Structure 1
Amino acid sequence: MVTTTPLEEELRLLAGSVPDPELPVLTLQELGVLRSVEVLGPGRVEVELTPTYTGCPAIGTMVADIEQVLHDHGIPDVSVRTVLAPAWSTDDISAEGRRKLAEFGIAPPRPGGPAGPVALSLAIRCPHCGSTDTELLSRFSSTACKALRRCASCREPFDHFKEL
């Protein structure tokens, strides 16, 4: 079991509060991509970050934003490492993150993902009216991790964060 120091917890909260560049309604902590923050020595911190998928174009911005927030907090030497294992999963999105996605008009991924437990309902709920009568318009939307759907009840289009 890895124990963290109060300083590491404080720095994790700071790094985790950085908004996701593609989904600014979510923080990196809520999205589940922030893996660890470790103090290596006086003024030296290493952060581990897992992208939502390999080749994510937002990773550079995430790294720069984490470095900036920690520099602003007085940490001169910040190293952000990209870690690919274990791979990120939509199960890593926090309950608060799922709530914020729905509030923002994006249908959150279903818990369990495609390899997890079988969901009782495979329906995607419209974040606008709550109807499960929705249809897929495109497997890809504004980002590769989202699909474009439309509600048959209220006729509003919406993004669905795909399960990974």
Structure 2
Amino acid sequence: MVTLPEIQSRVPIADAAARAWRIAAAVTDPEVPALTIEDLGVLREVAVDGGRVTVTITPTYSGCPAVDTIRDDLVLALTAEGFDDVDVRLTLTPAWTTDWMSETGKDKLRAYGIAPPTGRAAVGGVIRLQLAVKCPRCGSLDTKELARFGSTSCKALYECRACLEPFDHFKVH
């Protein structure tokens, strides 16, 4: 009988890295479970060196409370698939930006009831003002900000004046 570690030792590292990336990419964000960490742009790198998998993530904020859960979920997901030596590294540079979110992730946010970020982050450039945030439920632009910080630091709380529903807006940063 051949064991999983023996099979993995025969698999080229590139294949193992691609497999490890797919597993890590499927881990969901604990604060917005409709998104994976890949959708969010938090997953930055997955490397395989021999039997060790090193995953690099960048949190949405330096004090993001979800980081420990994401780290634990990555270790659990990878070890469940036979990777016994998993190291999750946190990097704060470059700082995470909503520009790293995938279009699929933005669509998932909208479907989940959260207005996705629009525009691009002002990294070394002009700071653009957003005049309106579109309601993810009815599509109206007749919305108003109720609180600069919503359910998490990366979101603001809005209300739609058309359908009267409150919603989070993922802020551009």
Aligned length: 160
Q: Which piece of structure 1 moves more, 74-83 or 117-126? A: 117-126
Change in 2 beyond 3 A, CA 1:109/1:68: same
Q: 2:78 aligns with which of 67, 70, 77?
A: 70
User: Which aligned runs of 4 or more in structure 1 are off by greater than 6 angstroms?
Assistant: 116-121
SS in 1 for 2:137: coil
How far apart are 1:6 and its partner, in Å? 2.1
TM-fit CA distance, 1:147: 0.4
**What CA distance in whole angstroms lies between the structure 1 residues aligned with 2:158 and 2:141?**
11
TM-score by length of 1: 0.92
Which amino acid letter does the alignment assign opposite residue 137 of structure 2?
H
> Is 2:108 the counterpart of 1:100?
yes
Q: TM-score, normalised to structure 2's length?
A: 0.87
Q: What is the one-letter code of the residue matched to 2:60?
A: T
Q: For 1:100 and 1:61, locate their aligned partners in 2 and report how far apart those are by CA, in whole Å.
A: 21
List gaps (5 residues or longer) in structure 2.
1-12
Higher radius of gyration, 1 or 2 = 2
Hey, what does 1:49 align to over in structure 2?
57
RMSD: 1.7
Is 2:54 the partner of 1:22?
Answer: no
Cα deviation code 1:89-122 (max 9, x no counterpart): 0111100000000001000001312446776963
**Residue 37 of structure 2 corresponds to residue 8 of structure 1:** no
Q: Determine the C-alpha separation between the residues in 2 that align with 1:111 and 1:12.
A: 28
The match for 1:150 among 152, 156, 159 is 159
User: Does the 8 A contact of 2:122 with 2:128 survive in 1?
Assistant: no
**Does the 8 Å CA contact 2:154/2:171 hold for their aligned counterparts?**
yes
Sequence identity percentage: 50
